[in-house]
Amino acid sequence: IPILHRVSAMTKRPLSLYASPWTAPAWLKSNEDIRGKGTLKGQAGDKYHKTWANYFIKFLDEYAKHNVTFWAVTAQNEPLAALLTPPEFPTIVFTASQQRDFITCDLGPALARSSHRTQLIILDDQRIHLPLWAKVVLGNATAARYTAGVGVHWYLDGVVPAGRSLGVTHKLFPNHFLLYSEACSGFLALR
């Protein structure tokens, strides 16, 4: 928080921060561990999903107490990465339909009821999942209404051409932005 305040003081325009969760607390997950391939317990609309959605609001509330606001949050960082990563990786597995239902029943309404004007980003994973992920989530009118855009990572960009993933997604959902939300240098020699 002090670093964010220092950076804000040095800029001429406001920072556009976004947050992306890696995992829910162990007691909310099916495997009862912050690591591994667990999903949220239960199903969208139940106490587990509502509690996880409320964690987002509490997170935003606590930062707001320190005059730090977030332009956006993602529903989950790399929701399918847990299927490919080592078991010690902290994550929650979401399919596109699980993310759609969580947004529709829990996270979307929680953000809308809150005092925060924070936008919601879906996917936040490899663009190889597009356009299918967007079709499932944004194809639902309620989920689309709560969602501002699609976050993508670049690690598997060499596998699927941009036109077949980003281009098709943009044509299907031109009112939702596409944002590269994660990248690093030297990850794969394929690049």
Nearest alpha carbon to residue 81 among 152, 28, 139? 152
Other Cβ atoms less than 10 A from the Cβ of 17: the count is 16
Tell me whether residue 62 is one of the annotated catalytic residues: no
Nearest-angstrom CA–CA distance, 49 and 43: 7
The answer for residues whose C-beta is within 8 angstroms of residue 132's C-beta and 6 or more apart is: 96
Other Cβ atoms less than 10 A from the Cβ of 44: the count is 20
Catalytic residue among 32, 62, 88, 182: 182
Catalytic residue among 32, 62, 78, 88: 78
In 8-79, the DSSP E strands lie at: 18-19, 72-74
Tell me whether residue 88 is one of the annotated catalytic residues: no
Catalytic sites, residue numbers: 78, 182
